[in-house]
Each structure stands twice: as C-alpha cells, then as structure tokens.
Structure 1
C-alpha cells in the first residue's frame, strides 16, 4: 500500500560505488521496531529501462539472443535497454532499442505496464511497450559481449512453451 506511512526513517546516505551504469549507496535507517540498520541501494545513472514486445504482421515475436556475463549464459529476450541520458523519454528508448536490437521500426508503440525490477535493493522500474505495424530496418551493434545479436522469431505459443521449459528466463520477457 503506497499510501501507508513508512515504517523506517532514513538517517544518512553515502555513495560507495560509482560506475558508468549505476551507483551504490549505503543507507542508514532507524525503525521503532528494530532500531538502527543499513541497506545498500542500487541507482541506475540514466534512469529506468524499457522492454518492447513487438508483434509482426504474421503474429511472430522477435527475441534477441544475448550473452549475459553475470549469469554466464545466453538468453532470449525482448528488445530492451536503458536511456542514453536521463532526459531520454521512455518512448524514444523503446523505439531505439527495437531498431538497434531487433531491426524493426513500429508505426505504433503503446506502454502497457510498468514494474519495479528488484525492489529489495534497486529503485529501477521497467516500462513495457507493445510494438505493432513493424517495418524491417538495419540493426546496429549493441555491446562487446554480443556485438550483433541474432534475432529469432517465435509465435506466442512457442514463446510460452519456452517460458515453461526454462529456455526463456529473463523476467521482463516473461512478464511481457
């Protein structure tokens, strides 16, 4: 319940890690129930992220193959990413990521939900968009670990089967 009073009071905050993508703060809190305690909170430098559930004219969904270093595995994900600057709007990020990662432009992008990624230690949200009216365009490199990812097209039924059998494990993709 977001309207309920907070059960803790923030006493102090100190940034302890700064990177190009995120910062980590050590935050001291107090609570009537437990007294003083600390938490580490992750803040993304360029704000929230977006994910794009794109659907082609024949009902296929493009998934991007990406190698994810923290998990040491390949993933199948919807096109997604973060802003290049804090001022970049969600809709612009969604359009850019769809173009860069999957090689499509959409005549219509509609936000259908927004969720908190990991509320236990991060302030980051992800906004999900539905992209329709797709037109193929050139893709670009997206990162050193997967410079030009493969794009795979699957039906909704195939995608649901891959969620069930553990092929698709990315949270934003499963939510979409």
Structure 2
C-alpha cells in the first residue's frame, strides 16, 4: 500500500528538497524523531524536524440499521476526551486490512463480514510520515472486545446525521474522523463508490 499519493515527477523539480544530513533526536516505543538538513530548490539549506510513524488504519463501521460504531477516548497530548472512529497503528509487517480487522475487534468487539478500502490520508504532513488507511466495514456481528493493557475507551453508536452535526458544531475535531465523515457523506449520497470484499483475515481473531 503506497504511503504517498503520487511520486514526484520532473515537473516537480522546482519544489523538491534533498536531504544533506540527518540527526536522530529520539527513538521511542513507536515514534522516531529526526532533524534533517535539506538543500532547497534555490540551493540554500534549511532544517526539517519530523517524526517517523509506522502508519495506521481507521474503520468507518456501520450497523445494519445505519448507525455508526464510534469511540470516546482520552487523548493525553490534547488533554481531552475525543469522539473518533475506531483506529490503530500498524504492527511491523502487518497489512492494512488485517490491522483494520484486528483493531475493530480489539476496540469494539465487532467483526465485519464485508470490507471496502476508501483511500489514504496524511494527517500531519508538516512534521510526520504518518499515513492512515481508511476502511469501511459492514455486516457486523458483536463479540467480546480485547483492549490492550492500559487502553481505556467507551464504545457508542450514532447516526450519520448526528456525526455530521457534531462535525459542524465542533464537537468532533479529530482529523481522521472528520475525513471519515467526508467519505461517509459522499458514499451515502452515491457520489463516491466503494469496492466491497467479503471474508475476514486470519489475524482478526
């Protein structure tokens, strides 16, 4: 799965920055921070600080009655409880669909019989390599969730209209969930289509 929407071409040469040197700032549990020296298109040099991230998935999961399965989770960096679609980071070597199936089960207890990949988003292009693969899930069956140690979140349901109103009112400010709402709105209206597939990955439980 490509992490970038398009590779640079010759037409982009007047925009491209080239790495001259790199300094590691932090090697944490899953974040890896660097300060690079780059050569700018005009020949001058500048510093770029950024974080390498393994990538993640987000699941737009819809019950048979049309309601969405969402989460409330405290996010320490912003010191707030956020309303979000289920999501989680990729393990090393893990395929995005397998990750989506694993995260949906672990966080919500739901399994989905049908899946469709929507696309990819880059939430913080100014300082991180992070990409989030966006998946739709339907034909859900509820089982037992399996939260990771130290993970605390509430699962609840809402209608698409409620979610969109919360986005409008500023109650939902999480970037990936706002992007998910955009995808959902266009899919429900018929403006955008999805290629659904059935079956579940063996890694889903």
TM-score relative to the length of structure 1: 0.91
Deviations 1:23-59 (A, max 9, x none): 0011001124361111111101xx2100000000000
User: Counterpart of 2:140?
Assistant: 134
User: Counterpart of 1:55?
Assistant: 62
CA distance in 1, matches of 2:17, 2:154: 46
Within 5 Å, which residues of 2 pair with 1:20-169? 20-33=29-42, 35-44=44-53, 47-84=54-91, 86-142=92-148, 144=150, 146-147=151-152, 149-169=153-173
TM-score relative to the length of structure 2: 0.79
Unaligned runs of 5+ in 2: 1-5, 181-205
| Greater fraction strand | 1
| Greater fraction helix | 2
CA distance in 2, matches of 1:12, 1:38: 10
Unaligned runs of 5+ in 1: none
The list of structure 1 runs, each at least 4 consecutive aligned residues, that deviate by more than 4 angstroms after superposition, is none
CA distance in 2, matches of 1:38, 1:68: 29
How far the C-alpha of 1:97 sits from its partner, in A, is 0.9
CA distance in 1, matches of 2:55, 2:147: 21
1:173 maps onto 2:180 in alignment: no
CA distance in 1, matches of 2:86, 2:107: 6
Deviations 1:103-150 (A, max 9, x none): 200001111010112111111111100001100010122452x43x21
SS of the residue 1:91 aligns to:
helix
Aligned-residue Cα RMSD (Å) equals: 1.5
CA distance in 1, matches of 2:27, 2:87: 23
CA distance in 2, matches of 1:54, 1:32: 44
Deviations 1:1-35 (A, max 9, x none): 73222532210112110100110011001124361
